[in-house]
Amino acid sequence: MNRRAEPEIMNGYKQVKAYAKADFNGPNQMFVDLFGENFPLFSSGRVLDLGCGPADIPLRFAGRYEQCRVVAMDGAERMLEFGRRNIAAQGMVERVKLVHGVLPHCELPENHFSAIISNSLLHHLLDPLALWQAISYCGKKDAAVLVMDLFRPSSETAARRIVEKYAAGEPEILREDFYNSLLAAYTEAEVRAQLDRIGLSNLQVRQVSDRHFAVVGLL
Ligand SMILES: C[S@@+](CC[C@H](N)C(=O)[O-])C[C@H]1O[C@@H](n2cnc3c(N)ncnc32)[C@H](O)[C@@H]1O
């Protein structure tokens, strides 16, 4: 099935509210656990989350790694507004900082972060190289990288099946977003080609669930 792009920035009020209220405990905890499994020696430093949404993953990350400070970036002011509230509610204002920014325009510091993480951003990007360029630019040498996203199923029917399996009871706006995201997602082979093109061939791509792949490695 060919890729069908979806809008990049998620800034519609209803869309953002439904996303921020949804239960992403399963995939978001899997993300933080995957980081722990792949980088068992990592414990401190500056972490960058690209496309942070309502900041659930940065908060989980800051909770697990108490000596880390997280900079969390997103292009949607509305998402950041929900993120701001979540961060304040968890008393993490000192350790999780939000930044507004739209890739490929990256005003983040060069060669600065010890870890760069990103969940479910890549499939939004019309130019996927923007994510890999930002990672190369902002990460220190040997920075830990974990990027997770959906991979594109073989057909629209397969995509509908995944939505039914994982979002049966969710509001329609969220189910439609999920479906559109599956159609906009990149395949593992496409991601491999992106990494090779940008000179990040050392990063590994592997399937980590029936709908997710992860890119893992050191810069
Ligand atoms: C599906 S959400 C994922 C949010 C969060 N990482 C999570 O796992 O819950 C994708 C996020 O990427 C943001 N985004 C999309 N395109 C972007 C771009 N070009 N630059 C910055 N953020 C972008 C959207 O606004 C949205 O908040």
Q: For 39-62, how does the pLDDT look when each residue is reduced to its tens digit (9 = 90+)?
A: 999 999 999 999 999 999 999 999
183: left (phi over 0), alpha (psi -120 to 50) or beta: alpha
Model confidence over 8-35: pLDDT tens digits?
A: 888 888 889 989 898 899 999 999 999 9
177 lines ligand 1 (CB under 6 A): no
Ligand 1 atom closest to the CA of 118, numbered from 1:
6
- By residue count, the chain amounts to 219
Express as a percent the part of the chain with pLDDT over 90: 91
Q: Tens digits of per-residue pLDDT, 80-89?
A: 999 999 999 9
pLDDT tens digits, residue range 183-196? 999 999 999 999 99
- 153 upstream amide cis, omega within 30 of 0: no
pLDDT computed for residue 106 by the predictor: 79
Distance 79 CA to ligand 1 centre (A): 8
pLDDT digits 0-9 by tens, 120-139: 999 999 999 999 999 999 99
Cα(1) to centroid of ligand 1, in Å?
23
Domains parsed from the chain with CATH numbers: 13-218 (3.40.50.150)
Q: Where are the alpha helices (DSSP H) in the chain?
A: 13-21, 25-38, 56-64, 77-89, 129-138, 156-167, 172-184, 188-198
CA distance 64 to 32: 8
Look at residue 211 and tell me whether its pLDDT is greater than 90: yes
Average pLDDT of the chain?
A: 96
DSSP 8-state class, residue 123: G
* Cα separation, 55 vs 178, whole angstroms: 19
Contact 60, 33 (CB under 8 A): no
53 lines ligand 1 (CB under 6 A): yes
Helix H or strand E segment including 44: strand 44-50
Q: Is 58 in the pocket of ligand 1 (CB under 6 A)?
A: no
Q: How confident is the model at residue 12, as a pLDDT?
A: 87
What's the gap in Å between 50 CA and the centre of ligand 1? 7
Q: What is the pLDDT averaged over residues 149-160?
A: 98
Cα of 53 vs centre of ligand 1, distance in Å, is 5
